[in-house]
Amino acid sequence: MNIRSSLRGGFVSGFVSILAVLLGLTGLVGTIVQGWFGFRSQTPGAWALLLAIALWGGARAARSAEVEPWGRVLVAGLLAGALHGLLMAAFTWLVGSLIDSGVALRKWLAQLTPQAVELLTFGLSPAAAAAVVFAALAIGGLVGALLAQASTRYRWRQSLAQRWGTARERFEAVPAVKGFRQHRYSQQILYGAGLLVLLVAPLVLGKYWNYTVGTVGIYVMLGLGLNIVVGMAGLLDLGYAAFFAIGAYTIALLTAPEPHGVMVNFWLVLPLGIALASAAGVLLGIPVLRMRGDYLAIVTLGFGEIIRVLLKSDTLTSFTGGPQGVRAVGGPSILGFRADDRFYVYLIILGIALVAFLTYRLQHSRAGRAWMAMREDEDVAEVMGIYTLKYKLLAFAIGAGFAGLGGAIFAARNKYANPEDFALLASINVLSLVIIGGMGSIPGIILGALVLKGLPEILRQLEDYRMLAFGALLIVMMILRPEGLWPSKRRAMELHESVE
């Protein structure tokens, strides 16, 4: 704790606050809080955010492992808060004056709506508003520092952790819980119950939730497929959506009335779609066999883009349907019954089960061990007699096949296939859910799909900020927990070994 840390704390808070205002986060938090508590305006929420940042800045400034005299803490916090306040005050004054003198700031900085600006100025003159902001944030910094010091001095963090620990122990000591955990089949019972819920769910959920669950399911399938390429074989594939597209378009082109009019039964075309996607995986694999990790990533990215542009292009429109896509894609039918949304959820669950089963078997097979060895050190693996080329191609083929399956179901369910659905963003989505969920771990990928695809559906209010949060989440996860939310133990070990 010294001058430098105070200045840094203040500066960072100032920067973050200004960014928050420019991004419209103050307004967003204000609206959400307003909705929760029924306030009359966005001010409470917005200022809660700003003060929280001030508290954090002050806490950072006063962070220290030892107990410090209160005087020093006061100074540190005040300094940080003052810097933060100064920056925000200057910003407020600048914005206020510019707007008062008639400059249409909103034209250039889209989030500075009159409402947003008023959150800062309270309708006062720029100078007065600046003073208010300065005072508020300086005090906030001070309080933050005091709180941080109190936490160190009175050991709040440790006592909280202790209480959590004791509570947990007590919970686990409860005879019912204890008995459950030690019961031989408790894990199986849980899985069984989960399976039951899964089987019954499509019947009670409405169309919308069935559709959402189905989408999450397809992404789980894709995630498991990519997991084989990235997680198990360690090959970073950024063009995964290309295989997705191939599966989808095979179904689409062979079951839709246009552009070809060949309307083959879905069940016959499905294996063909998977096979073609696998073949594409092998074809992609061959040239990239000897490439280094980053080059592999870029080449696969290029490949994905090439497929998308080709699907959309004029030259191939007569074959692929062009940018309009392929409509009225045929779907599966069982004994004459047309597929409806519930059927698709079951089909997807079945698909996931199949893919998960295959993944599990692969993990514990010779191929799985070969991949593990290749991941650790490719050269050593070669020397030990592992035919890396073959296993790399195998990884691509199987991963692509899974994507083909997902793509086929995707196109049939939407009754539509369109090149734009297979853009780079789709590949990045799948990669992110594998990474965030946990590479190499089946439950992790399911969790990742839920978080990345299901959550935005629930939090539609945050629509505008979704991708922003997404990007920030990727960075934060990589720094704090690169192995993902629910990793396989092995990956966690691997990653933390190298990080430390």
Partner 1 sequence: MISTTQAHPKRSLSLGRWIRPLVAVLVIAFILWRLWTILFVQQVYGAETWVRIGISGLILGGVYAVVALGYTLVYGILFMINFAHGDVMMLGAFAGYFTLEAFDAAGLLNRNLAWSIVCVATAFAAAMLVGMVAAILLERVAYRPLRTAPRLVPLISAIGASLFLENAAQLMFGTARHAYANPNVIGRDAGWVFIVNGKEVLVTYTGALTFVLSILLMIGLLILVKRTKMGKAMRAVAEDKDVAALMGIDVDRVISNSFAISGVLAGAAGVMWGLHIGIIYHYVGFIPGMKAFTAAVLGGIGNVAGAMLGGLVLGVLESLGPAALGVSFQLQDVVAFSILVLVLIFRPTGLLGEVLSEKKM
Partner 2 sequence: MRTRILLVFALIATVVLAACCPKEKHECTDEWGCAVFEPGQTVKVAYVGPMTGPYAAFGTDISRGAELAVKANPDVEGFAFELVIEDTQGSGEQSASVANKLVADPRVVAVAGHTFSGSTLVAIPIYEEAGIPMMSPSTTLATFTQQGSEVYNRVAFSDALQAKKAAEYIYNVLGITKIVTVHDSDAYGQGLAEGVAAEFEDLGGEVLAIKATTQGSADYSAALADIAALSPELIYYGGYDADAALMVSQMAAAGLEGVVFFGCDGTYGVNYIDLAGDAAEGTYSTNVPIPPSDAFDQFKADYEAAYGDPQGKLSPFSPHGHDAAAVLLAAIDRVAIKDGNNLVIPRKGLAEEIRKTENFLGLTSGAITCDATGECGPQELVFMIVESGAWVEAPGQ
Binding site for partner 2 (CB under 8 A): 106, 113-114, 181, 186-187, 190-191, 193-194, 197, 201, 204-209, 211-212, 215, 309, 312-314, 322-325, 327-328, 341, 414-416, 418, 420-421, 443, 447, 457, 463-464, 467, 486
Residue 101 binds partner 1 (CB under 8 A)? no
Return the residues of window 306-365 that contact partner 1 according to CB under 8 A: 306, 309-310, 312-315
Do the Cβ atoms of 381 and 372 come closer than 8 Å?
Answer: no
Residue 161 binds partner 1 (CB under 8 A)? no
How far, in Å, CA of 484 to CA of 488, rounded?
9
Residue 464 binds partner 1 (CB under 8 A)? yes
φ and ψ at 313, to 5 degrees? -80, 160
Give the H/E segment covering residue 496: helix 489-499
- Identify which range of 35-43, 143-151, 294-302, 412-420 contacts partner 1 by CB under 8 A: 294-302
Helices 366-376 and 341-363, axial angle in degrees (round to 10): 70
363-390 b/e with 16+ CB inside 10 Å = b? beeebbebbbbbbeeeeebeeeebebee
The pair of three-digit structure tokens given for residue 169, joined into one six-digit string = 């122990």
Minimum distance, C-beta of residue 388 to partner 1, in the bound complex (Å): 9
The pair of three-digit structure tokens given for residue 23, joined into one six-digit string = 């991004």
Minimum distance, C-beta of residue 418 to partner 2, in the bound complex (Å): 4
DSSP string computed for 175-224: HHHHHHHHSTTHHHHHHHHHHHHHHHHHHHS-HHHHHHHHHHHHHHHHHH
Residue 459 binds partner 1 (CB under 8 A)? no
Q: How many residues sit in the footprint of partner 1 (CB under 8 A)?
A: 64
Judged by CB, which is closer to partner 1: 111, or 151?
111
List 327's β-bridge partners, or say none.
Answer: 416
Judged by CB, which is closer to partner 1: 52, or 473?
473
Minimum distance, C-beta of residue 222 to partner 1, in the bound complex (Å): 17
Minimum distance, C-beta of residue 111 to partner 1, in the bound complex (Å): 6
Minimum distance, C-beta of residue 323 to partner 2, in the bound complex (Å): 5
The pair of three-digit structure tokens given for residue 243, joined into one six-digit string = 């295989």
Minimum distance, C-beta of residue 373 to partner 2, in the bound complex (Å): 26
Residue 271 binds partner 1 (CB under 8 A)? no
Judged by CB, which is closer to partner 1: 346, or 470?
470
How far, in Å, CA of 483 to CA of 494, rounded?
9
How far, in Å, CA of 345 to CA of 201, rounded?
9
Judged by CB, which is closer to partner 2: 254, or 446?
446
**Number of other residues whose CB lies within 10 A of the CB of residue 405:** 27
**Number of other residues whose CB lies within 10 A of the CB of residue 464:** 10
Minimum distance, C-beta of residue 16 to partner 1, in the bound complex (Å): 11
Distance of CA 122 to CAs 27, 33, 83, 212, 289, Å? 14, 18, 21, 42, 62
Do the Cβ atoms of 414 and 434 come closer than 8 Å?
Answer: no
Among 22, 124, 279, 358, binds partner 1 (CB under 8 A): 22
List 435's β-bridge partners, or say none.
Answer: none
Largest CA distance in the chain: 83
Give 326's DSSP letter: E
Residue 67 binds partner 1 (CB under 8 A)? no
Residue 6 binds partner 1 (CB under 8 A)? no
Contact partner, 481, from partner 2, partner 1, none, Cβ < 5-8 Å per class: none
Residue 498 binds partner 1 (CB under 8 A)? yes
Among 230, 276, 374, 442, binds partner 1 (CB under 8 A): 230
Among 5, 31, 34, 111, binds partner 1 (CB under 8 A): 111
Contact partner, 299, from partner 1, partner 2, none, Cβ < 5-8 Å per class: partner 1
Helices 126-153 and 3-23, axial angle in degrees (round to 10): 130
- Identify which range of 137-145, 353-361, 365-373, 424-432 contacts partner 1 by CB under 8 A: 424-432
Do the Cβ atoms of 49 and 26 come closer than 8 Å?
Answer: yes
Contact partner, 184, from partner 1, partner 2, none, Cβ < 5-8 Å per class: none
- Per the listing, tokens 């407020």 go with 92
Distance of CA 308 to CAs 239, 326, 468, Å? 10, 14, 25
φ and ψ at 486, to 5 degrees? -135, 75
Distance of CA 16 to CAs 25, 85, 393, 492, Å? 11, 12, 46, 32
Distance of CA 5 to CAs 57, 74, 345, Å? 10, 14, 54
Contact partner, 207, from partner 1, partner 2, none, Cβ < 5-8 Å per class: partner 2
φ and ψ at 414, to 5 degrees? -75, -15
Minimum distance, C-beta of residue 237 to partner 2, in the bound complex (Å): 21
Residue 475 binds partner 1 (CB under 8 A)? yes
Binding mask 378-417 for partner 1 (x = CB under 8 A): ----xxxx-x-xx---------------------------
Judged by CB, which is closer to partner 1: 339, or 462?
462
Judged by CB, which is closer to partner 1: 340, or 377?
377
Residue 282 binds partner 1 (CB under 8 A)? no
Distance of CA 372 to CAs 167, 228, 248, Å? 39, 11, 31
Residue type present at position 225: G
Q: Which residues bind partner 1 (CB under 8 A)?
A: 19, 22-24, 103, 108-111, 230, 234, 236, 286-288, 290-295, 297-299, 301-303, 305-306, 309-310, 312-315, 382-385, 387, 389-390, 428, 431-432, 435, 464-465, 467-468, 470-475, 478-479, 482, 494-495, 498-500
